Amino acid sequence: MTLRDAVPDLVLEGVSKAYGNVEAVDRISLEVRRGQFYSLLGPSGCGKTTTLRLVAGFERADSGRILLAGEDITHTPPNRRRVNTVFQNYALFPHLSVEDNVSYGLRQTKLGREETRARLNEALRTVRLENLRARHPRELSGGQQQRVALARALINKPAVLLLDEPLAALDLKLRKAMQRELKKLQERVGVAFLYVTHDQEEALTLSDRIAVMNDGRLLQEGGPRSFQLSVFTAGANCIVATALGTSAAIGLRNVGRKTRTAFDAFMYMALIVPEIVIAIASLLFFVTINFPLGPIAIVTTHAVFNTALVTLIVRARLAGTDRSLEEASADLGATRWGTFRQVTLPQLFPAVVAGALLAFTFSFDDVILSSFVSGPGSTTLPVEIFSQLRFGLTPKINVVAVVTLSVTVTAIIVAQVLLRREARKVYRGVR
């Protein structure tokens, strides 16, 4: 790696911008590296477009520094910065043709006619607009206008391309198509993109790195892979813990009292022991047996904790079930599997669902266990958020946890209501 490659293309160091008493951008610090697709994600008014305008030079920072390829451009005028912008409304010149729009920047540099023509043809080929070069913006579709804006910005070979929600004006089908095209274009040209969006799905689809903003502050920063890894490990843990916990709860009905007591002690121990102890013990265990750290290690560690949780929830539900129903099923010729599937499981369903949702939530929300056994390059979203926080302990992952827990409680309540209704129907039928 050369020294030039080691220097980020764009660096913001504690950049702030206020309009009166309103802090539009509050001490933002970030790095965009060469060839990276970096997204600023957040709701309207969070400061992401202002940040983009500060980089472009349309606004002046009140404090902090903006570095482009190691050069301080904080006070450099827009026309002397090696960045170009794709505006939300594209800002195409209505009186100029496609080729005149695209070559507008080159004409300001007094580039030779032959080189201008060569670069213009290359830019039009890149966005597949060679046959529309004579048209005016009003004669183009939304997707075509967007490609003209991209070509106009890229033809100057900027160090960083700034994009202010360029897909927001397109309909859903075209937006999806343009997302794929935009990502392919970025990979082909190799230019760093600083992309503003309020669409989480869009950010996850396109980005190599995402910064979440709110109230002018950068709350968290990470790659989309951390989110995907969290969903994978939480989902796998949900399946493993639910299967083991349900099986254990049912199996304990057929063992002696001493065995149940010992198993209960083990289950409660897993819940009572501090997470940090389980995390350290898990790490030492995996290292001792030379087991690779990563997603499988995370799932295994989470399952130790969550299997106990699921077991206790399902056992509590089993205590209220009628064993004679299973005996009646066997008496009518059903196998053990048939009895479990048709009689036992329907009665346990609310508890199984509740245990599965809690297992998923605790796994997805976990920081301590994952941070010890995730391994290099396998950081989960909560760990990534926690490690990247810059402005106080406000991890957005807690919102996900609260929502999922709320869904769990609601599912339990709904299931209980339905079961009571069924019980009333049975009671009335008996009468």
pLDDT along the chain (431 residues), means of 10: 57 92 91 90 88 93 92 91 89 91 86 87 88 91 88 89 84 78 85 88 81 82 66 77 81 74 73 76 83 80 82 81 80 81 83 83 76 64 58 48 65 69 59 54
Domain regions of the chain by residue span: 3-224, 227-430
Q: What is the pLDDT of residue 190?
A: 86
Of 158, 152, 94, the closest CA to residue 124 belongs to 152
Of 205, 186, 189, the closest CA to residue 197 belongs to 205
Q: How many residues does the chain have?
A: 431
**Fold observed for domain 227-430:** MetI-like fold (1.10.3720)
d(CA 289, CA 362): 26
Q: What is the pLDDT of residue 387?
A: 56
Q: Is it true that 3-224 and 227-430 share their CATH fold? A: no
Assign residue 333 a region (left: φ > 0; alpha: ψ between -120 and 50; beta: otherwise).
left
Q: What is the pLDDT of residue 350?
A: 82
Q: What is the pLDDT of residue 384?
A: 62
- Under 8 Å between Cβ of 149 and 109: no
Superfamily of domain 3-224 in the CATH hierarchy: P-loop containing nucleotide triphosphate hydrolases (3.40.50.300)
Residues 20, 24, 30, CA angle at the centre, nearest 5°?
Answer: 140
